[in-house]
């Protein structure tokens, strides 16, 4: 879900084989093979109460165990959040009751803590004290809607077990255990909890940050034990394949060419975002984003490319200008809409066909209504963002394999293996500076007299 790239925050109150993977090594120390989790995809039709009602939306989750004895939870991975959230056993909201709930009293490794990581009651792991720090996280899903979860802080053992992996990676992690969870947007989402994968600036402190805790483990003093890179790779599958997320490296079989890297913009904010040098549509360059004035936040839980509302109108005008006024053939079609090219730093270009960003096309009976309408979102709930932020959603990340490096503060992109063949051909033509010419021929039949009869 997109909480996203825009609104994940915490407010406090007191009262396969190694040869198939690349390990992202930052030094000479030999590092362990990545932990690879299979993503499960579930699809729903959004109800009338949702922002994009009537549209199909996909949700992705994987299994993570918490506590001792370990209990398995289906967790979604939030690229725009910095906290792990689980529903508490004491939560009686409908959104909690339909999920697996976490019970700190059952776990022998659970500790009640305040936001600073210290025990609520000194020398006592668990307490009945009501006076303790609380936290809340604002949720904003551009497909579904907005809400907020609130709860207390707990530290417990978290384990990630990769596919075909006998040894899990376990580590202590501080998290938010929710006592209240709103129906919107959580009622629609088929998972138990959330793993925030944002950078450290998005977390309350380092021990709340999942990536840092995964890398640290249970304190590898003197470089003993497995060493993992502070990074993860994301593959969003097509057809029946839900995809995978790999911690500590990436699967080279998912790439069609070497990764191209773009630095994270404003990493202190904690978001996985990159600067946009230019947005090109045909022969036009979108003026609002020249010279890195815009950013692209990466969040696969948004279905399509999200465009800030204040920029959408001008972007739609350029798209309409470059497209045939009445579409092709029988009328309005995605084929008639030009691609959007996002130019990032280091000569990285992402090409998005219209099905990745067009929310709606007009009726074929009215040529004027063929104007493409992009997927918009309001940034009013994210006033802390000074630049104009686009959201690279699921459609884009299905097309491009992405690798997130929290140590070098960069994101790697490669056209994903297994994307539809027509997209591979398009990318190949672009790399070769090819030109595609479309010629429309109109035929008219008329009745003539044969010269033999004259």
Query: pLDDT digits over 60-69, tens only?
Result: 999 999 999 9
The partner residues of 403 in beta bridges, in order of sequence, read 233, 412
Structure confidence at residue 50 as a pLDDT band (50, 70, 90): confident
What does the pLDDT read at residue 421? 47
Cα–Cα distance, 64 to 214 (Å, whole number): 12
Structure confidence at residue 7 as a pLDDT band (50, 70, 90): very low
Residue 235 near residue 253 (C-beta atoms within 8 A): no
What does the pLDDT read at residue 327? 56
pLDDT exceeds cutoff 70 at 4: no
Structure confidence by residue, pLDDT tens digits, 87-99: 999 999 888 898 9
Output the six-digit token pair for 353: 């066909």
Cα–Cα distance, 233 to 230 (Å, whole number): 11
What does the pLDDT read at residue 9? 33
Q: Could you tell me what percent of the chain has a pLDDT over 70?
A: 77
SS (H, E, C) 368-428: HHHCCEECEECHHHCCCCCCEEEEECHHHHHHEEEEEECCCCEEEEEEECCCCHHHHHHHH
Q: Give the residue, 423 or 291, on which the prediction is more confident.
A: 291
pLDDT exceeds cutoff 50 at 451: no
What does the pLDDT read at residue 173? 97
pLDDT exceeds cutoff 90 at 52: no
Look at residues 413, 30, 396 and name the one whose alpha carbon lies nearest to residue 236. Answer: 396
Structure confidence by residue, pLDDT tens digits, 257-287: 999 999 999 999 999 999 999 999 988 898 8
pLDDT exceeds cutoff 70 at 347: yes
What does the pLDDT read at residue 70? 95
What does the pLDDT read at residue 413? 97
pLDDT exceeds cutoff 70 at 27: no
Which run of H or E residues covers position 322?
A: helix 309-322
Contacts with 325 (C-beta within 8 Å, 6 or more apart), sequence order: 367, 368, 370
Structure confidence by residue, pLDDT tens digits, 380-397: 544 445 568 999 999 999
DSSP state of 347: G
Mean pLDDT of 192-206: 93
Structure confidence by residue, pLDDT tens digits, 394-411: 999 999 999 999 999 999
The SS3 assignment for 185 reads: helix
- Residue 438 CB neighbours (<10 A): 7
What does the pLDDT read at residue 177? 96
Structure confidence at residue 330 as a pLDDT band (50, 70, 90): low
**Averaged pLDDT score across all residues of the chain:** 80
- For tokens 């066909």, name the residue: 353
User: In this structure, what are the phi and psi dihedrals at residue 63, rounded to the nearest 5 degrees?
Assistant: -90, 130
What does the pLDDT read at residue 290? 79
Mean pLDDT of 212-233: 79
Cα–Cα distance, 377 to 296 (Å, whole number): 14
pLDDT exceeds cutoff 80 at 57: yes
The DSSP secondary structure of 98-123, one letter per residue, reads: TS--B-TTT-TT-EEE-TTS-BSBTT
Structure confidence at residue 8 as a pLDDT band (50, 70, 90): very low
- Catalogue all structural domains in the chain, each as residue range(s) with its CATH number: 4-249 (2.40.70.10), 255-431 (2.40.70.10)
CA dihedral 70, 76, 79, 83 (to 10 degrees): -50
Mean pLDDT of 206-234: 83
pLDDT exceeds cutoff 60 at 433: no
The DSSP secondary structure of 15-34, one letter per residue, reads: ---GGGEEE--SSSS--PPP
pLDDT exceeds cutoff 80 at 181: yes
Structure confidence at residue 448 as a pLDDT band (50, 70, 90): very low
Look at residues 181, 188, 187 and name the one whose alpha carbon lies nearest to residue 148. Answer: 181
The DSSP secondary structure of 209-263, one letter per residue, reads: -HHHHHHHTTT-GGG-S----SEEEEEE--TT--EEEEESEEEGGGBSS--EEEE
Cα–Cα distance, 353 to 336 (Å, whole number): 10
What does the pLDDT read at residue 224? 58
Cα–Cα distance, 262 to 349 (Å, whole number): 10
The SS3 assignment for 179 reads: strand
Which run of H or E residues covers position 86?
A: strand 85-87
The SS3 assignment for 187 reads: coil
Q: What is the C-alpha end-to-end distance of the chain, expressed in Å? A: 77
Sign of CA dihedral 93, 95, 101, 104: negative
What does the pLDDT read at residue 135? 92
């Amino acid at each position: 879900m997109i909480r996203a790239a825009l609104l994940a925050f915490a407010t406090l109150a007191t009262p396969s084989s190694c040869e198939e993977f690349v390990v992202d090594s930052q030094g000479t120390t030999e590092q362990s093979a990545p932990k690879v989790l299979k993503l499960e995809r579930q699809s729903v039709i959004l109800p009338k109460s949702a922002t994009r009602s009537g549209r199909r939306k996909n949700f992705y989750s994987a299994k993570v165990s918490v506590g001792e004895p370990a209990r398995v939870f289906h967790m979604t991975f939030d690229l725009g959040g910095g906290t792990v959230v689980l529903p508490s056993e004491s939560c009686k909201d409908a959104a909690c009751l339909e999920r697996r709930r976490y019970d700190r009293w059952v776990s022998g490794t659970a500790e009640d803590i305040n936001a600073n990581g210290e025990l609520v009651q000194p020398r006592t792991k668990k307490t009945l004290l009501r006076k303790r720090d609380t936290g809340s996280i604002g949720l904003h899903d551009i497909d579904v809607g907005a809400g907020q979860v609130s709860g207390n802080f707990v530290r417990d053992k978290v384990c990630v077990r990769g596919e075909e992996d006998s040894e899990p990676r376990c580590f202590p992690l501080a998290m938010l255990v929710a006592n209240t969870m709103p129906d919107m947007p959580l009622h629609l989402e088929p998972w138990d909890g959330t793993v925030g994968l944002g950078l450290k600036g998005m977390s309350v402190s380092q021990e709340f940050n999942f990536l840092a805790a995964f890398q640290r483990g249970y304190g590898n003093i003197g470089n003993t034990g497995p060493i993992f890179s502070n990074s993860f790779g994301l593959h969003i599958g097509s057809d029946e394949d839900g995809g995978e997320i790999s911690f500590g490296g990436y699967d080279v079989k998912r790439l069609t060419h070497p990764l191209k890297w773009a630095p994270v913009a404003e990493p202190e904010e904690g978001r996985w975002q990159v600067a946009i040098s230019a947005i090109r549509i045909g022969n036009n360059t979108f003026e609002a984003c020249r010279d890195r004035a815009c950013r692209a936040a990466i969040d696969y839980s948004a279905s399509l490319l999200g465009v800030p509302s204040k920029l959408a109108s001008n972007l739609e005008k350029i798209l309409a200008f470059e497209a045939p006024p009445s579409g092709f053939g029988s009328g309005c079609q995605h084929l008639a809409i030009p691609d959007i090219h996002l130019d990032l730093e280091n000569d990285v270009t992402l090409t998005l066909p219209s099905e990745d960003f067009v929310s709606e096309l007009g009726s074929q009976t009215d040529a004027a209504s063929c104007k493409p309408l992009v997927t918009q979102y309001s940034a009013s709930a994210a006033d802390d963002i000074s630049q104009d932020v686009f959201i690279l959603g699921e459609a884009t990340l299905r097309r491009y394999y992405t690798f997130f490096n929290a140590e070098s503060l960069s994101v790697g992109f490669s056209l994903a293996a297994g994307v539809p063949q027509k997209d591979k051909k398009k990318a190949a033509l672009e790399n070769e500076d090819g030109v595609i010419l479309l010629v429309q021929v109109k035929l008219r039949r008329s009745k003539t007299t044969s010269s033999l009869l004259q």
